Amino acid sequence: MFGTSGIRGIYGKDITEGLAGKLASVFAEAGLCLGRDIRTSGPSLFKAAASGALSAGSDVIDLGIVPTPTVALATKKHGCRGIMLTASHNPPEYNGFKLIEHGKEIGKAMEKEVERRCKEGWKASGGNGTLVHDNDILDDHKQMVMGMVDRKAVARKKPKVVVDCNGAASVITPYLLSDLGCRVISVNASRDCFNRPSEPSRENLAYLSRFVADVGADFAIAHDGDGDRCAVMDEKGDVLPLDAQLAIMIDHEMAGAKNRKVISTVEASLTIRDVVEKNGGTIMITQVGSTFVGDALEEKGALFGGEPCGEYIYGEGVHVPDAVVAAAKFAEIFCEHGKFSRLRTRYPQHFMARERFQAKDNKASMEKVKQAIAIEGEMRSDDGIRIDEEDGWLLIRASGTEPIIRLTMEYKSKEKLERRKKEMTEIIKKNI
């Protein structure tokens, strides 16, 4: 049922009102905070989930359209569990559920427990729960973020910002930045449809480049459907490489902080490792996925956890990726350091290669590939095979959804990259 982040699928086929009701009935405990993104299947799934929780005797706290981090905050505020109805950055025909407890997505053990209880069926107990609305939760979230940034610095500089939410964050990010003193131009703020593909990638934001330059904005912020990813575009209309963006954020978070622990995933680039080490910190690497980053952040008591897909978790915030905080932090960074087109040059890009190979059986192929590799270096294999060398790293990882093996590598010299690419390609091709 569960993937790397909650449950996702096609609405009407994998994701139905029946599943929403059953899931909410077994997961609700004393209360259930319910939020949703802007998908057209959202209202109906929302009512089904609310009915499920009410029938199990649980109260329901209706948050309406909110980003995922707002649901996480609500679970802390109300001391109960929460469900966010969303398929994150998947296309509009998808929907799904993110299950949240104590401000964090549930871990793998709890996912298994929920799955088991779902198999037992709908839990109904007479249904004497009540439905209430929390109309203050967006203000609570804004207040939390305001306490995490230098409001005076932003209010003094008044940056001109284009905000492209294209999803649930449209109810908060433009207003928050405006309250902070930014001059905001909000685009794609519809509450009932996506106007571009939901992932805030370079390709999907290409249309915004000229607009940002034409209106003379200082930078642009773009989110995904459930407001847990943040992408930044500089004043020239260039989307910052995601690892440079993450490096900028880590540098910013570590400046002046006593806590020097940072979490990232097996996809973290050399730049990320360098930035943490330059700041005298330690980096801990987890499997890909915000639940793993959130778990590690709590376990290690880390300052910050970030993935190079634009998802950032702040130790002092909620422990799911919070792109609303990230948007405010990027405004703060701009006010401190100036144009992102210049700032990004401080974080050099090394030589990278990404290859994909068609496999017959992902699991069997990965096992054989692992046996065939003989490189001196620190190897970890809980999420594919990652080998860290002094001057670079490589990652061989099976896709979670297709019969495909991916090879990602980064080295400081082009020659080394080419040599490793040739060696690894031979090994992979021989073993799939």
Q: Is 199 an interacting residue with respect to Mg ion (CB under 5 A)?
A: no
Provide CB contacts within 8 A for 374, sequence distance 6+. Answer: none
Give the chain's count of helices (H) and strands (E). 15, 20
Binding mask 5-44 for Mg ion (x = CB under 5 A): ----------------------------------------
For Mg ion, give the closer residue by CB, 228 or 234.
228
C-alpha 223/C-alpha 372 separation (Å) is: 41
Burial of 216 (0-12, 13-18, 19+ CB in 10 A): exposed
Q: Does residue number 228 form part of the binding site for Mg ion (CB under 5 A)?
A: yes
Token pair belonging to 96? 């799904």
Q: Among residues 74, 229, 88, which one has the least CA distance to residue 138?
A: 74
The yes or no reply on residue 105 touching Mg ion (CB under 5 A) is: no
Angle, CA 5 vertex, CA 37 and CA 22 arms, to 5°: 70
**How big is the site for Mg ion, counted in residues (CB under 5 A)?**
4
Beta-sheet pairing, 81-85 with 31-36: parallel
Packing angle, helices 242-254 and 270-278, rounded to 10: 10
In the complex, minimum distance from the CB of residue 105 to Mg ion, in angstroms, rounded to a whole number = 11
Cα separation of 88 and 69, whole Å? 12
* Cβ proximity to Mg ion, 6 vs 315, nearer residue: 6
**Which CB sits closer to Mg ion, 230 or 387?**
230
Return the residue nearest Mg ion (CB atom).
Answer: 88
Closer of 228 and 295 to Mg ion (Cβ):
228
Considering only the stretches 39-47, 85-93, 136-144, 265-273, report the one whose residues sit in contact with Mg ion under the rule CB under 5 A: 85-93
Question: Which window, 77-85, 95-103, 177-185, 223-231, contacts Mg ion (CB under 5 A)?
Answer: 223-231
Give the interface segment with Mg ion, choosing from 42-50, 130-138, 220-228, 376-384 (CB under 5 A).
220-228
Quick one: 137 or 230, whose CB is closer to Mg ion? Answer: 230
Instruction: Point out the catalytic residue in the list 25, 88, 198, 365.
Output: 88
Mark whether 88 is an active-site residue: yes
Q: How far apart are CA 37 and CA 87, in angstroms?
A: 8
Interface residue with Mg ion, options 88, 264, 265, 408 (CB under 5 A): 88
- Shortest reach from residue 58's CB to Mg ion, in Å: 26
Longest dimension (CA), the chain: 69
Cα dist from 27 to 59, 95, 151, 290, whole Å: 12, 18, 38, 20
CB of 88 to Mg ion, least distance (A): 3
The one-letter amino acid at 344: R
> Judged by CB, which is closer to Mg ion: 37, or 218?
37
Instruction: With contacts defined by CB under 5 A, name the span among 83-91, 103-111, 172-180, 281-289 that binds Mg ion.
Output: 83-91
Contact 252, 329 (CB under 8 A): yes
First and final CA of the chain: distance in angstroms? 27
- Classify residue 166 by burial, with Cβ atoms within 10 Å: 0-12, 13-18, 19+: buried
Please provide residue 262's backbone torsions phi and psi, each rounded to the nearest 5 degrees: -130, 140
In which element (H, E) is residue 11 found? none
Q: Which of residues 226, 234, 298, 410 is near Mg ion by CB under 5 A?
A: 226
Q: Which stretch binds Mg ion (CB under 5 A): 26-34, 137-145, 225-233, 333-341?
A: 225-233
Total number of residues shown for the chain: 432
Binding of Mg ion by 224 (CB under 5 A): yes
Q: Minimum distance from CB of 166 to Mg ion (Å)?
A: 12
Q: How far is the CB of 255 from Mg ion (least distance, A)?
A: 27
- Taking the least distance from each CB to Mg ion, the nearer of 200 and 315 is 200
Residues marked active site are found at 88
Residues that bind Mg ion (CB under 5 A): 88, 224, 226, 228
